[in-house]
Structure 1
């Protein structure tokens, strides 16, 4: 995509600002981003976005490179609203909005950028963790994939050897909700999970191999000693700052390093967690032959999704973007039920 698509100004600024001035702050910010990105095309075509035809609108949407259905909707909504506003103001040369009859799921899905896949299959995760020399690196990824998270990764960082029940395949997790307020939950792992074994191996390791075990001639030493305490995820013993629980940056550093080593720039905590949710949905769908409210509630409980004030899990965005049968069949194959 050309960098010109990301111009930080509005074409035909006076009209755009008239359109934006009565919007709420958040709406104005969201709409402005799309309108600013349209400016280079507006200059190229010599006309305001409100006079774009359908081909020109589709070119703009493709330039925005949306990666999910929600991001396509976030791109098309400001365009639709802006053109409708322009028609009301008598600005468009005709009184027809090219998007008015086309905004359905099938139409929007064709704009989703497939060049960077954001969901990893169970085999992908196993391949990545299997190529990691340090068990702590593998454990971070596997924890996120199996439902551990918490505020600032606190369910991982609070985990001690005493929170692991190997015989019952059970973990006691602690989430730091806010200062002085912690939330505990019990996570029962499936019979095929190897997470507990991996966590115990992580605890037993007292050293960390730099660069995934590949020696570097520039390093005085290729190993780092880890702090010795009861936590599973421990920082380097380079000072006294993290003699106790490690900081959330430990998780972020591990993910960045692994992403670099594996050539997987989209190996982020959110994408790993989403991938785990899809795998859990796949297993439920395979066992039960359906993926409905009951199954979604089980997934949400497993991954500690918050309920709204009415006692419902609000995961409509996830269901639209990836947590659905279509994505299950794409990642794990058809005929899985």
Structure 2
């Protein structure tokens, strides 16, 4: 099965670009494939309404994302016209305004793993990227204690297991992904923190701050008072608030990232075990350290609140299962 509709033409187009740009265009081509099959023609021949259908499928979360996707489609159609591979003589996107791009924006309420990947890729600071990844994989604790108290001594890189300490000093062990381990290493090595994800203004006196040197993976910037202790939860909140503003994702916060991670785990369980029931909810609750309750004299995870957003229908819709 071909990866793209009219694959030979699209492959020829992609060869003009570097690996990074190829990935961006390829993502759009994968989304357009089903519509190209439905319309019986390559995207380079699409009408404006048909191009709009592609953008609706892409579900851009921000103005920048919608504008970038539109620009990619515009570039592909222009190339096809110049190469004589399109039936069009004029690019339908030639006179489209920013308002037109904005009309396709779908605010993100949950992050798929793909969207998280692109967010992390766009993080200038590993100190920020590691927060996104670890929360997504179930590391949080009361007041973000598991995040803030994590040191390199707590990371078993061979087994891929973290030793996590909560606010009440209770300890648990959690296996994490290779990407999480990689980001932990990068974050621990960082000595400078780039303000505003590197998008500081020309009037900014210092575009970066120096990070505290202590044993913790996630660290605050140096102030007048030397800080050998773990940072507080407000550091996490401030950094996520900054990323929310930079990436134009107003709902980006600890709870949203955690819920998104639960959705990803539910998707994996649904694919592996074919159902999303009590047993699967318990596995999710254990990983994300959900509170327990006494039920008929037995202590068990209180997974019932999860079902309001974490259900088979929602998971299938989010991951196109």
Larger Rg: 1
| TM-score normalised over the length of structure 1 | 0.61
TM, length-normalised to structure 2: 0.64
Stretches (4+) displaced over 3 A: 114-117
Q: Distance in 2 between matches of 1:203 and 1:189?
A: 17
Tell me, yes or no, if structure 1 residue 156 matches structure 2 residue 147: yes
Give 5+ residue unaligned stretches, structure 1.
Answer: 1-113
Is 2:212–2:226's contact at 8 Å kept on the other side of the alignment? no
Name the residue aligned to 1:118.
109
CA distance in 2, matches of 1:197, 1:186: 18
Out of 180, 190, 214, the residue aligned to residue 199 of structure 2 is 214
Quote the residue 1:323 is aligned against: 310
Shift of 1:117: 4.2
RMSD of equivalent CA atoms:
1.6
Q: Does 1:199 align with 2:190?
A: no
Query: What is the distance in 1 between the residues matched to 2:109 and 2:198?
Result: 27
Quote the residue 1:145 is aligned against.
136
CA contact (8 A) 1:235 1:250 kept: yes
Q: Could you say which residue in structure 2 is the equivalent of 1:130?
A: 121
1:213 and 1:116 mapped to 2: Cα distance? Answer: 24
The answer to whether the 8 A contact 2:130-2:184 is kept is yes
Does the 8 Å contact 1:237/1:243 carry over to 2? no
Q: How far is the alpha carbon of 1:244 from its aligned partner?
A: 1.8
1:88-99 equivalence runs, <5 A: none
Structure 1 CA distance, aligned partners of 2:147 and 2:140?
6
1:257-292 per-residue CA deviation (whole Å, 9 max, x = no partner) reads 000000000011001100000101111111111112
SS in 1 for 2:173: strand
Please give the secondary structure, in 2, of the residue aligned with 1:186: strand
CA shift, 1:313, in A, is 2.1
Size of the aligned set, in residue pairs, is 214
**What is the CA–CA distance in structure 1 between the aligned matches of 2:239 and 2:124, rounded to whole Å?**
12
Aligned mates of 2:107, 2:124 — CA distance in 1: 26
Q: 1:326 and 1:282, CA in 2 relative to 1: closer, same or farther beyond 3 A?
A: same
Q: Is the 8 A contact 2:218 2:231 kept in 1?
A: yes
Is the 1:227–1:236 contact (alpha carbons within 8 Å) kept by the matching residues of 2?
Answer: yes
> 1:168-212 CA distances to partner (integer Å, 9 max, x unpaired)?
1110000013xxxx110000125xx41011011000011101121
Asked if the contact 2:286–2:301 (Cα under 8 Å) also holds between the matched residues in 1, the reply is: no
1:256 aligns with 2:256: no
State the partner residue of 2:156.
165
